[in-house]
Amino acid sequence: MTHVAQLRIAPVKGLATLSLDEITLGPDGVAEDRRILLLDAEGLVITVRQRPDFVRLTPALDLAAGRLTVTFPDSSTACSSLADASEPASTTLFRRERHGRLLPGDVADALTAFSGQPVRVLVTDGPGIGPDEGPVSVVSRASIREVETPDDDANRYRMLLTVDGCDAHAEETWAGRQVKIGDAVIDISHPLGRCLVIEHDPETGERDWGGLRTLAVRRGRDKLTLGAIAFVAEPGRIRVGDEVLPLG
């Protein structure tokens, strides 16, 4: 049986991802996923490609309590109330404009001190997406193993759903089909093109693997994909262990 093996979200884009036992998938994805962007002095979004060491920082976003907390490598923490986010701001990410409000205070100050450069915290109006992404990303453990990912570590791919019990790259063959997972149904759209982020250790940020070269060798230079992107057809709850059932 194909089933959900892991669920991960990135509340702050560019920081560490978080493992969860269950998620609530809304029409636009998980409300906390990539909800917060970090901006540099020019107002550009800071990503793993620019600052791979930021993956050493662990975020905790509690929308109900209105609180953002970031834990640093020395175990110190910084916490800010989302209620303090008042100044409207926007940025462009992957050619798409993102709107929200800037969050001043301890988190921004601590990130600036860690970075050595100004960092601003943008609380966006909704969950985030990437260059060709929808709100849901799926990868199989078989796909991860097939390309000889170091330590079979799904974390470096920063995917919402990791599934097990299917053949390698089966998730890409589901493109154009709906898949029922737990209480939700998703529309698989297209295979996900990969970038240099996969070449960095997900815990240290150090570049430790020639991932794109490996994909080119294993899949061809015109097929640098791993995993798939999906949109939400029917919102609902998804839990680790839930069956993954392609429909039609």
Expressed as residue numbers, the domain containing 112 is 36-124
Same domain for 119 and 139, yes or no, is no
Give the pLDDT of residue 129. Answer: 62
Residues 99 and 200 both lie in one domain: no
Give residue 222's pLDDT.
87
Give the span between the Cα atoms of 169 and 144, in whole angstroms: 9
Statement to judge: residues 42 and 90 lie in one domain: yes
Measured between its terminal Cα atoms, the distance across the chain in Å is: 17
pLDDT recorded at residue 132:
56
Give the three-class secondary structure for 202.
coil
Name the token pair of 99: 């709107």
- Mind listing the pLDDT tens digit for each residue in 32-48? 999 999 999 999 999 99
Above 60 in pLDDT, residue 130?
A: no
Q: For residue 211, give the CATH number of its domain.
A: 2.40.33.20
Whether residue 15 is contained in a domain is answered as no
How many Å apart are CA 160 and CA 169, to the nearest integer? 16
Residue 240 within a domain = yes
| Residue where the block lists tokens 């020395």 | 74
Q: Is residue 124 within 8 Å of residue 100, measured between CB atoms?
A: yes
| Shared domain check, 222 and 188 | yes
Q: For all residues of the chain together, what is the average pLDDT?
A: 94
169: helix, strand or coil: coil
Instruction: Tell me if 18 is assigned to some domain.
Output: no
CA–CA dist 31, 103 (Å, integer): 18
What is the chain's length? Answer: 248
Contact 227, 172 (CB under 8 A): yes
Residue after which a domain boundary falls, among 108, 124, 140: 124
Tell me, yes or no, whether 187 and 215 share the same domain.
yes
Number of domains composing the chain: 2
Tell me the pLDDT tens digit for each residue of 142-199: 999 999 999 999 999 999 999 999 999 999 999 999 999 999 999 999 999 999 999 9
Q: Is the pTM of this model over 0.75?
A: yes
